[in-house]
Structure 1
Amino acid sequence: MKLRGFEIITSYKEKSITLPQRATHHAAGYDFEAAEEIVVPSIWKAGVIDGVKALLAKETAKQLKPTLIPTGIKAYMGEDEYLQLTNRSSNPLKRFLVLTNGVGVIDSDYYDNPDNEGHIMFQFTNFGPTDVVIKKGERIGQGIFLPFLKADQDTTTASRTGGFGSSNQ
């Protein structure tokens, strides 16, 4: 019986993907690697004035959108568990990369969904002055399996019907 773990998604099977691993015996998180080389553009690339204008106008400027970094990985786990995606501590300090959503949440029903097979991606925003190139195989973040509790009055409104962001109403 499988309890929790990682698998490579079908479209990345032949791309030399490494399953996430813990770096030390006491590490809580499993290190995820980038499945391909991706450039994370600086939010300042178009210029500070244009960026501020876009924010004030409440427009979604292309330079302000997060960049999705594919991992080629999906995760399976128990119904009352989730995989928490966190940034590496060195990313903001050394590379100005932050997880745009703060913390990623991979629900158990995301696994093998019909849209993207449960492909886990990290979303980054680059607050640095220059673009950042993330190389294939570079460690980009960590995943921690965690249990969660349900309220006495717990009700759900729907079943998952898609992939990334599909539970947004």
Structure 2
Amino acid sequence: MRKRGFEIVSKYQDSNLHLPQRQTPASAGYDFEAAEDVVIPSIWRFNFVRIFRLIRNFHELNEHDYRVAEQILKPFLVPTGIKCYMPEDEVLILANRSSNTYKRNVTLPNGIGVIDSDYYNNQNNEGEIYFQLINYGVRPLKIKKGERIGQGIFIPYLRADNDNPVPQKRTGGFGSSGVKDELNGKDKD
């Protein structure tokens, strides 16, 4: 009986991807690789600096400034082509590699990623795992297919005595388990 592990999602079945693996017997994390070549531009190349100057100099931002900033200042999603399965009382924590920040100037803006057991085979994207990355270096970061971009660690978790989760089915990722905002019908995180 399968307990926990990794699979390649359908759209990458013929792409010669490697399943995540630990690099040493004492490693806690399974290294994930990029499923395709990706270039992550430096945040310093965006209108980020202009928005920062406006804020720093106490200028009033208009709606256009906010929209531009919200479109630009987002992390890049790097596909892995991998999905994972695990028992219901476990979670896969996605973490940055130590060499990413020290040598490559790239970080996970969310600190860690959380892959819940019900993310596996969801109807939106089959449960494909992506790493959110921001390049704070001055040069664009070129990631080649097969380069290690992060790691995943399986961890059991505990539930509260009065645990009563909302009875809903996950349909996708990145906020898909959010509760609907009554005012505008959008997901809240």
Which interval holds the TM-score relative to the shorter structure?
Answer: over 0.9
Partner of residue 78 from structure 2, selected from 64, 69, 90 = 69
> 1:44 touches 1:51 (CA, 8 Å); kept in 2?
no
After the TM superposition, which of the residue ranges 148-157 and 46-55 deviates more from structure 2? 46-55
Distance 1:45 1:111, change over 3 A: same
Structure label with greater radius of gyration? 2
After the TM superposition, which of the residue ranges 55-64 and 145-154 deviates more from structure 2? 55-64
**More helix by proportion, 1 or 2?**
2
Equivalence for 1:15: 15
When the two chains are superposed, the root-mean-square deviation of aligned CA atoms in Å is 1.7
After the TM superposition, which of the residue ranges 66-75 and 150-159 deviates more from structure 2? 150-159
Shift of 1:76: 0.2
> 1:31 touches 1:139 (CA, 8 Å); kept in 2?
yes
State percent identity of aligned pairs. Answer: 53
Partner of residue 159 from structure 2, selected from 147, 150, 153 = 150
Structure 1 unaligned residues grouped into runs of 5+: none
After the TM superposition, which of the residue ranges 64-73 and 150-159 deviates more from structure 2? 150-159
Partner of residue 127 from structure 1, selected from 122, 126, 136 = 136
TM-score after normalising by structure 1:
0.93
Equivalence for 2:187: none
Matched, 1:116 2:116: no
Distance 1:153 1:64, change over 3 A: same
Structure 2 unaligned residues grouped into runs of 5+: 180-189
TM-score after normalising by structure 2:
0.84
Distance 1:48 1:119, change over 3 A: closer
> 1:110 touches 1:160 (CA, 8 Å); kept in 2?
no
